[in-house]
């Protein structure tokens, strides 16, 4: 019973708090929270990332997916195409030449989608922050990021911790929220490719 | 690396212009006008020819550029460096892709990083930089793109202590 109570409190409390703020009727709150629990459990237990492994952090991501640290037990299967995935793990250094490709792949992912910035280069440009003219100083200059995982490279345990935090974030969402993130549209990062 | 003395045909042709460097390679310093002719001789006309182009790069010496071609003949362990100084205002060389096809990429890199024009290059696109990049990054007077939305540095990362004092995070 204690276990069930603690599990309930994990998921219900934030949803009820949000519903109270929206001043929904108690019946609607009850209904929405039950639907949210089911839907969010489904979403969280099967996050399929498109592995955007660019540099050394890709090795750590692969190591996390491999036998010792195993991502499959969380329902996480790496997908090769953004069209089939929920999450984009940006693992590695993003350069100015790669950035429009990254933005295009982000827009090709269907909603709901989340982004994890893995490693110092994706978080802030990392070791290339001071002097590299061609490195994007943090992938959040191009796309919105949900989870930041620092490290150079972060250990597999750190990536697992970040993915579990993503689970918490997913479980805290609600179907009553706006499904589309505000203000994200193609071209918002200010990039204009030559010739278009 | 070349262990022997300078061969006679090279010593005859270049006389004082050829020296042996510390690592055993031979260095030939030529002027910009003689560069193409020298490379054609070394790569095609000389028997046996230096048939492997190791690398081409440029050096920025402040008032001048220097273009360096590394050639080698792997079978007999011979290696030669051809250096040539160019003016900084309008540096240009002629392509050697007809002698060594592998010169294509090093010449593209030299064009985009230093702005050394390569005449007659079959494919003068950027190699590493994105299209439409302004400026030549490996020159000594290159200005960092601090007004680019992605590539610029900002106060938060440069001086985090002061930034956080001015913009305190609310709990």
Spatial CB neighbours of A143, under 8 Å, sequence gap ≥ 6: A88, A102, A103, A106, A115, A184, A189
As given in the structure block, the two tokens for residue B170 are 């609310």
φ/ψ of A136, rounded to 5, equals: -75, 130
For chain B, what's the residue count?
Answer: 171
The fraction of chain B above a pLDDT of 90, given in percent, is 32
Q: Which of A97, A124, A194 sits opposite B157 (nearest CB)?
A: A124
**B123 CA: distance to closest CA in chain A (Å):** 18
Q: Tell the CATH topology of B3-142.
A: Beta Polymerase; domain 2 (3.30.460)
Cα R_g (chain B), whole angstroms? 22
Scanning A163-182 for CB atoms below 8 A from B yields none
Inter-chain residue contact B130 with A96, CB threshold 8 Å: yes
Q: Does B154 touch chain A (CB under 8 A)?
A: yes
Residue A70, CA distances (Å) to A77, A84, A121, B66 in order: 10, 21, 24, 53
Q: What is the pTM of this model?
A: 0.78
Q: Where are the beta strands (DSSP E) in A2-101?
A: 49-53, 87-91
φ/ψ of A86, rounded to 5, equals: -100, -25
Check whether B1 has a pLDDT greater than 70: no
Query: B17-37, pLDDT tens digit by residue?
Result: 788 887 778 888 888 888 998
Query: B112-128, pLDDT tens digit by residue?
Result: 999 999 999 998 889 88
Decide the pairing of beta strands B64-73 and B78-87.
antiparallel
**Three-state secondary structure call for residue A124:** helix
Q: Does A141 touch chain B (CB under 8 A)?
A: yes
Q: Does A130 touch chain B (CB under 8 A)?
A: yes
Instruction: Name the one residue in this structure whose structure tokens are 């002698």.
Output: B99
Scanning A79-108 for CB atoms below 8 A from B yields 96-97, 99
Inter-chain residue contact B157 with A129, CB threshold 8 Å: yes
What confidence score (pLDDT) does residue A22 get? 63
Query: B130-166, pLDDT tens digit by residue?
Result: 888 888 999 998 888 877 888 888 766 677 777 778 8
Inter-chain residue contact B150 with A194, CB threshold 8 Å: no
Instruction: Name the one residue in this structure whose structure tokens are 């046996």.
Output: B48
Q: Does A143 touch chain B (CB under 8 A)?
A: no
Mutating which of B143, B151, B154 best tests the A interface, going by the most A Cβ atoms within 10 A? B151
Rounded Cα–Cα distance for residues A171 and A114 (Å): 13
Find chain B residues with C-beta within 8 A of A141's C-beta: 149-150
Residue-range domain boundaries for chain B: 3-142
Rounded Cα–Cα distance for residues A48 and A50 (Å): 7
Within 10 angstroms of residue B157's Cβ, the number of other Cβ atoms is: 14
Query: B48-84, pLDDT tens digit by residue?
Result: 888 899 999 999 998 899 999 999 988 888 888 999 9
- Along the 196 residues of chain A, how does pLDDT read in single tens digits? 677 777 666 666 666 666 666 666 677 777 888 888 899 999 999 999 998 899 999 999 999 999 999 999 999 999 999 999 999 999 999 999 999 899 899 989 988 889 999 999 999 888 998 888 899 999 988 888 999 999 999 999 999 999 999 998 888 887 777 666 554 555 555 555 444 3
């Amino acid at each position: 019973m204690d276990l069930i109570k603690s599990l309930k409190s994990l998921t219900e409390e934030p949803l009820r708090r949000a519903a109270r703020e929206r001043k929904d009727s108690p019946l609607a709150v009850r209904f929405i929270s039950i639907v949210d629990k089911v839907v969010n459990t489904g979403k969280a237990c099967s996050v399929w990332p498109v592995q955007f492994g660019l540099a050394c952090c890709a090795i750590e991501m692969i190591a996390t997916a491999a036998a010792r640290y195993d991502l499959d037990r969380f329902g996480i299967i790496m997908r090769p195409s953004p069209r089939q995935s929920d999450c984009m793990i940006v693992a590695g250094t993003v350069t100015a030449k790669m950035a429009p490709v990254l933005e295009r792949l982000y827009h090709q992912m269907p909603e709901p989608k989340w982004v994890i910035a893995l490693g110092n280069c994706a978080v802030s440009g990392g070791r290339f922050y001071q002097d590299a003219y061609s490195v994007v100083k943090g992938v959040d200059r191009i796309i919105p990021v949900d989870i930041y995982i620092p490290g150079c490279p972060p250990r597999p345990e750190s990536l697992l911790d970040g993915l579990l935090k993503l689970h918490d974030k997913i479980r805290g969402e609600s179907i009553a929220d706006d499904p589309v993130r505000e203000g994200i549209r193609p071209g918002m990062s200010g990039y204009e490719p030559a010739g278009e | 690396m070349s262990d022997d003395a300078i061969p006679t045909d090279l010593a005859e042709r270049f006389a004082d212009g050829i020296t042996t460097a510390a690592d055993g390679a031979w260095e030939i310093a030529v002027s910009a006008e003689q560069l193409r002719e020298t490379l054609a001789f070394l790569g095609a006309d000389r028997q046996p020819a230096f048939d492997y182009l190791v690398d081409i790069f440029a050096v920025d010496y402040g008032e001048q550029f220097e273009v360096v071609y590394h050639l080698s003949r792997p079978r007999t362990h011979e290696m030669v460096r051809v250096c040539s100084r160019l003016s900084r205002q309008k540096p240009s060389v002629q392509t050697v892709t007809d002698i060594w096809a592998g010169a294509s990429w090093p010449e593209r890199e030299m064009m985009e990083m230093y702005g050394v024009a390569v005449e007659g290059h079959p494919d003068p696109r950027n190699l590493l930089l994105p299209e439409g990049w302004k400026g030549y990054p490996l020159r000594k007077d290159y200005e960092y793109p601090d007004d680019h939305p992605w590539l610029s540095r900002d106060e938060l990362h440069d001086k985090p202590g002061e930034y956080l004092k001015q913009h305190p995070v609310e709990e």
